[in-house]
Chains A and B, each alone.
Chain A
Amino acid sequence: MRKDRTEMSEDDDRSPPLDLRGADIAESSSKTRNCSGVTGSVAGPGPGPSSMDFQAPYPDQVLENVLENVLQFLSTRRDRNAASLVCKSWCRVEALTRSELFIGNCYSVSPRRATARFARVQAVAIKGRPRFADFNLMPPNWGAFFAPWVLAMATAYPWLEKVYLKRMSVSNDDLTLLADSFPSFKELVLVCCDGFGTGGLAVVASKCRLLRVLDLIESELSDEDVDWIACFPESGTSCLESLIFDCVERPINFEALERLVIRSPSLKKLRLNRFVSIGQLYRLMVRAPQLTHIGTGAFSAPEGVALGDLEPDYTAAFAACKSLVCLSGFREILADYLPAIHPVCANLTSLNFSYANINAEQLKSVILHCHKLQTFWVLDSICDEGLQAVAATCKDLRELRVFPIDAQEDIEGPVSEVGLEAISEGCRKLQSILYFCQHMTNAAVKTMSNNCPDLEVFRLCIMGRHRPDHLTDEPMDEGFGAIVMNCKKLTRLAVSGLLTDRAFNYIGKYGKLVRTLSVAFAGDSDMGLKYVLEGCPRLQKLEIRDSPFGDAALLSGLHHYYNMRFLWMSSCSLSPPGCQEIARALPRLVVEVISNETDKLNGDDTVDILYMYRSLEGPREDAPGFVTILQ
Chain B
Amino acid sequence: MGFDKELNLEATELRLGLPGTKKSNKRALPDYMNEECGSKDSSNVSDAQKSDQEIASPAKAQVVGWPPVRSYRKNCFLAKKMEAETAGMYVKVSMDGAPYLRKIDLKVYNGYPELLKALEDMFKFSVGEYSEREGFNGSEFVPTYEDKDGDWMLVGDVPWEMFISSCKRLRIMKGSEARGLGCAV
Q: Do A and B interact? A: yes
- In the assembled complex, B53 has its CB within 8 A of some CB on chain A: yes
Q: Which residues from A are CB-within-8-Å of B43?
A: 524-525, 548
Q: Which residues from A are CB-within-8-Å of B165?
A: none
Q: Given that A135-B65, A466-B46 are known contacts, is A303 also in contact with B53, CB under 8 Å in the complex?
A: no
When A and B form their complex, what is the total count of cross-chain residue pairs whose Cβ atoms lie within 8 Å? 116
Nearest-neighbour CB distance to chain A for B73, whole angstroms, equals 7
- The complex places the Cα of A471 from the Cα of B175 at a distance, in Å, of 65
Among B60, B74, B76, B80, contact of A410 (Cβ-Cβ < 8 Å): B60
**Nearest residue in A to B59 (C-beta to C-beta)?**
A410
Contact A548 B67 (CB under 8 A): no
- In the assembled complex, B57 has its CB within 8 A of some CB on chain A: yes
Nearest-neighbour CB distance to chain B for A274, whole angstroms, equals 9
Contact B40 A571 (CB under 8 A): yes
Query: C-beta contact mask, B36-56 vs A, less than 8 Å → 1, else 0?
Result: 011111110010011001000
For A, the interface residue count at a CB cutoff of 8 angstroms equals 55
Q: Given that A303-B88, A355-B76, A520-B68 are known contacts, is A466 also in contact with B49, CB under 8 Å in the complex?
A: yes
Q: Which residues from A are CB-within-8-Å of B90?
A: 303
**Nearest residue in A to B74 (C-beta to C-beta)?**
A407
Nearest-neighbour CB distance to chain A for B112, whole angstroms, equals 22
Contact A548 B103 (CB under 8 A): no
Nearest-neighbour CB distance to chain A for B47, whole angstroms, equals 10
Contact B77 A405 (CB under 8 A): yes
Interface hit among A51-59, A222-230, A304-312: A304-312
Q: Given that A466-B49, A604-B40 are known contacts, is A403 also in contact with B73, CB under 8 Å in the complex?
A: yes
Q: Which residues from A are CB-within-8-Å of B65?
A: 132, 135-137, 545
Q: Tell me the interface secondary structure of chain A in the complex.
A: loop
Contact A407 B69 (CB under 8 A): yes
Contact B41 A573 (CB under 8 A): yes
Among A218, A405, A545, contact of B70 (Cβ-Cβ < 8 Å): A218
Q: Which residues from B are CB-within-8-Å of A410?
A: 57, 59-60
Q: Which residues from B are CB-within-8-Å of A466?
A: 46, 49-50, 53
Q: Which residues from B are CB-within-8-Å of A525?
A: 43
Among A134, A354, A403, A546, contact of B37 (Cβ-Cβ < 8 Å): A546
Contact B67 A407 (CB under 8 A): yes
Nearest-neighbour CB distance to chain B for A334, whole angstroms, equals 10
Contact A135 B59 (CB under 8 A): no
- In the assembled complex, B7 has its CB within 8 A of some CB on chain A: no
- In the assembled complex, B9 has its CB within 8 A of some CB on chain A: no
Contact B42 A546 (CB under 8 A): yes
Among B40, B59, B76, contact of A573 (Cβ-Cβ < 8 Å): B40
- In the assembled complex, A461 has its CB within 8 A of some CB on chain B: yes
**Nearest residue in B to A310 (C-beta to C-beta)?**
B100
- In the assembled complex, B71 has its CB within 8 A of some CB on chain A: yes
- In the assembled complex, A606 has its CB within 8 A of some CB on chain B: yes
Chain B residues 65 to 113 lying within 8 A of chain A, measured CB to CB, are 65-74, 76-77, 80, 88, 90, 92, 94, 100-103
Nearest-neighbour CB distance to chain B for A133, whole angstroms, equals 9
Chain A residues 213 to 256 lying within 8 A of chain B, measured CB to CB, are 218, 220, 247
Among A308, A547, A598, A604, contact of B101 (Cβ-Cβ < 8 Å): A308
- In the assembled complex, A406 has its CB within 8 A of some CB on chain B: yes
- The complex places the Cα of A220 from the Cα of B70 at a distance, in Å, of 11
Nearest-neighbour CB distance to chain A for B53, whole angstroms, equals 7
- In the assembled complex, B64 has its CB within 8 A of some CB on chain A: yes
Nearest-neighbour CB distance to chain B for A28, whole angstroms, equals 46
- In the assembled complex, A69 has its CB within 8 A of some CB on chain B: no
Nearest-neighbour CB distance to chain B for A502, whole angstroms, equals 14
- The complex places the Cα of A86 from the Cα of B38 at a distance, in Å, of 47
Nearest-neighbour CB distance to chain B for A130, whole angstroms, equals 12
Q: Which residues from A are CB-within-8-Å of B100?
A: 306, 308-310
Query: C-beta contact mask, A565-595 vs B, less than 8 Å → 1, else 0?
Result: 0000001110000000000000000000000
Contact A498 B69 (CB under 8 A): no
Nearest-neighbour CB distance to chain A for B179, whole angstroms, equals 26
- In the assembled complex, B62 has its CB within 8 A of some CB on chain A: yes
- The complex places the Cα of A461 from the Cα of B69 at a distance, in Å, of 10
- In the assembled complex, A521 has its CB within 8 A of some CB on chain B: yes
- In the assembled complex, A482 has its CB within 8 A of some CB on chain B: no
Q: Which residues from B are CB-within-8-Å of A137?
A: 64-65
- In the assembled complex, B63 has its CB within 8 A of some CB on chain A: yes
- The complex places the Cα of A353 from the Cα of B70 at a distance, in Å, of 16
Contact B92 A308 (CB under 8 A): yes
Chain A residues 584 to 616 lying within 8 A of chain B, measured CB to CB, are 596, 598-599, 604, 606, 608
**Nearest residue in A to B83 (C-beta to C-beta)?**
A332
- The complex places the Cα of A137 from the Cα of B38 at a distance, in Å, of 11
Contact B103 A409 (CB under 8 A): no
- In the assembled complex, A404 has its CB within 8 A of some CB on chain B: yes
- In the assembled complex, A429 has its CB within 8 A of some CB on chain B: no
Q: Which residues from B are CB-within-8-Å of A599?
A: 38
Query: C-beta contact mask, A126-169 vs B, less than 8 Å → 1, else 0?
Result: 00000010111100000000000000000000000000000000
- In the assembled complex, A81 has its CB within 8 A of some CB on chain B: no
- In the assembled complex, A436 has its CB within 8 A of some CB on chain B: yes
- In the assembled complex, A72 has its CB within 8 A of some CB on chain B: no
- The complex places the Cα of A572 from the Cα of B63 at a distance, in Å, of 15
Contact B39 A571 (CB under 8 A): yes
Q: Which residues from B are CB-within-8-Å of A406?
A: 77
Chain B residues 1 to 55 lying within 8 A of chain A, measured CB to CB, are 37-43, 46, 49-50, 53
Contact B102 A403 (CB under 8 A): no
- The complex places the Cα of A332 from the Cα of B69 at a distance, in Å, of 19
Q: Which residues from A are CB-within-8-Å of B53?
A: 464, 466-468
**Nearest residue in B to A459 (C-beta to C-beta)?**
B68
- In the assembled complex, A357 has its CB within 8 A of some CB on chain B: yes
Contact A306 B39 (CB under 8 A): no
Question: Chain A interface (Cβ within 8 Å of chain B)?
Answer: 132, 134-137, 218, 220, 247, 303-306, 308-310, 331-332, 354-355, 357, 403-411, 436, 461, 463-468, 498, 520-521, 524-525, 545-548, 571-573, 596, 598-599, 604, 606, 608
CB pairs A–B below 8 angstroms (12 shown): A134-B68, A306-B92, A306-B103, A308-B102, A355-B73, A404-B69, A407-B67, A410-B57, A461-B68, A466-B49, A520-B68, A521-B42
7 more CB-based (< 8 A) A-B contacts, given A306-B100, A310-B100, A571-B42: A135-B68, A218-B70, A355-B73, A410-B59, A436-B67, A467-B53, A548-B43
Question: Chain B interface (Cβ within 8 Å of chain A)?
Answer: 37-43, 46, 49-50, 53, 57, 59-60, 62-74, 76-77, 80, 88, 90, 92, 94, 100-103
Task: Report, nearest first, the 5 A-B pairs whose CB atoms are least far apart.
Answer: A135-B65, A308-B101, A306-B103, A548-B43, A407-B69
